[in-house]
Chains A and B, each alone.
Chain A
Amino acid sequence: MAEHTTGHTSSAEMGCGTSEAVLEPVLETRRLTVTAGAETILRDVNLAVPARSVYGLIGPSGAGKSTLLKCLNRLVDLQPLLRVEGEVRFQGRSLRDGTLHPDDLRVRIGMLFQQPVVFPGSIQHNVVFGVRRQTGVRRRDLPGIAESALREAALWDEVKDRLRKPAATLSVGQQQRLSLARALASRPEVLLMDEPTSALDPRSTRAIEELVRELKERHTIVLVTHDLGQAQRVSDWLGCLCLQDGAGELLETACCAELLESPKCQAVADFLRQSGGRTEA
């Protein structure tokens, strides 16, 4: 089992001394290619995300990190001009084999966006916004679900006395944790985070990072970040997407420390150097 790989990487290849049980990937992509007309956005991406870990996706702007993330929960389907080829597998099942409806998939793979999204309505309304629709969830269960999700997102103490107040009155950092609570309320197995701290101040950023570290005990997390320091602080694994001939390719994936300390691929080393990370290749 290789500890450090470049190019196409399978779960079995991602070692770093971790046991086989942990390495069983929750999410996988196989030769994932995304095109928009004649333009290729992602090319032949092979990704494997082990369970109960934080998988950081780094790379320059425009390399297709967010697009890759949206392929993992089929949010890319909202963009009809994009064509997706290859395979994405969740817990061993292909997302497009017809057995898992996209809406059900998205309940199990939650997502946190770059900017906090607050729906019109109260704080509690926002937390249970997604979970309300789920079968088996009764109206009287909602306050308990909201409390549990807010506690998990470390927001309960700050909002417990104003759950009926408009969510828009929260600070941006609180709104992002509210968005996280909303995603957590559906009890997803995987959380996709698309630069979740890019709009936040350092204090809120630290709070989110702390949460990510705690949440990986119960969830698998895929985190897109531009901040190498953040990637280093919270990620167990790193994948680096770089532009090759105009298309994003996953050039290297490895344990976080290894990829940052000793990248094998020259393009990755160049990216790390330009971003203020390590320079050796």
Chain B
Amino acid sequence: MRRWLDRAVVVGTGTCVLVACGVLLLLVLAIASRGLPALSWSFLTEEMSRGGAAGGIAYNLVGTLILIATAAIVCTPLAVGTALTHGFYLRSRAARRRLELVLYALNGIPSILFGIFGLIVFVGFLGWGKSWLSGGILLALVMLPTVTVAMIERIDALPRSHIEAAVALGLSESEVVRRVILPESAGALVTGLLLGLARVAGETAPILFTATVFAGATLPTGVRESPVLSLPYHVFVLAQDSFDPAVSRTVWGTATVLLLLVIGLSAVALPLRLRIHDEARHG
């Protein structure tokens, strides 16, 4: 009976893994099989034409890169600061719990609400109109909990002895942060950013009202009234609104590029993270 139970557990857990991996594999195959034939140099480098039925996605790709790069730049100091506050400066357990609660609440907010928030604050109150900067800031807020929690977990796992030894050498609090905590948690920051960027690269709702348009934008020249094109919004609009069969090629091609972008982020970040991790351990 016990042996039968053991086998059942192994089969059950194995099935869960197969289902999870299988869904991912099917998704990748479904998108890639339809999208890869559409990919070409001209598709990546040409502007969209005929409402998406022809041309490429050059500015959509550039727009998405601008948005996620802005998100990463805005998010990094916020996440580092919040994680350090949680892991180093807040002495009270209750205060740390409250901060965690705020982060988890932020993580649970539907992304469309970030879009509404951006519409009120950036588009309306600040008068930016649709702007790449609004989109970047909103995406940074969306990914902030992911990055922060990854760093908090790493800081909490840092050997207490390292901090104690650094303080015993006469290092001030800021030096301990700069020379012990940040270098030893850099791998977690990269991992968190990777996860966060992979999530927000495909987000449509936060940028829908605040940062992106379907057509007519190229490179931003300022902040006010300076929207960008983007990959997820391109897919969203074409898949919803177009009845032109020629558009499906563009839709699947764009979706494939989005998928490759996410995979590419992982491919760049994972070795980087491993190298940082290795350096942190062995120098």
Question: Which residues in A have some Cβ–Cβ distance to B below 8 Å?
Answer: 73, 75, 78, 80, 103-107, 110-111, 113, 115, 117, 119-122, 125, 129-130, 133-134, 165-169, 179, 182-183, 186
Contacts and interface: CB of A to CB of B under 8 A. Distances in A.
A119 B282 CA distance: 9
Nearest to B169: A130
A113 B165 contact: yes
B153 interface: no
Contacts of A113: 161, 164-165, 168
Given A121-B283, A169-B282, A103 B165 contact: no
Given A80-B91, A110-B168, A113-B164, 18 more contacts: A78-B164, A103-B170, A103-B172, A106-B168, A106-B169, A110-B169, A115-B161, A117-B161, A119-B165, A119-B166, A120-B184, A120-B280, A121-B283, A122-B283, A125-B283, A133-B170, A168-B283, A183-B169
Contacts of B283: 120-122, 125, 165-168
Interface in B97-145: none
B2 interface: no
B156 interface: no
Nearest to A192: B168
11 contacts: A75-B168, A107-B169, A107-B170, A110-B169, A113-B164, A117-B165, A120-B279, A120-B283, A133-B175, A167-B283, A168-B283
Contacts of B166: 119, 129-130
B162 interface: yes
B29 interface: no
A104 B165 contact: no
Closest 6 CB pairs of A and B: A130-B169, A107-B170, A166-B282, A121-B283, A117-B165, A111-B168
B219 interface: no
A104 B175 CA distance: 13
Contacts of B279: 120
Interface in B207-221: none
Contacts of A119: 162, 165-166, 180
B281 interface: yes
A106 B171 CA distance: 8
Given A120-B279, A168-B283, A169-B282, A186 B170 contact: yes
A105 B179 CA distance: 20
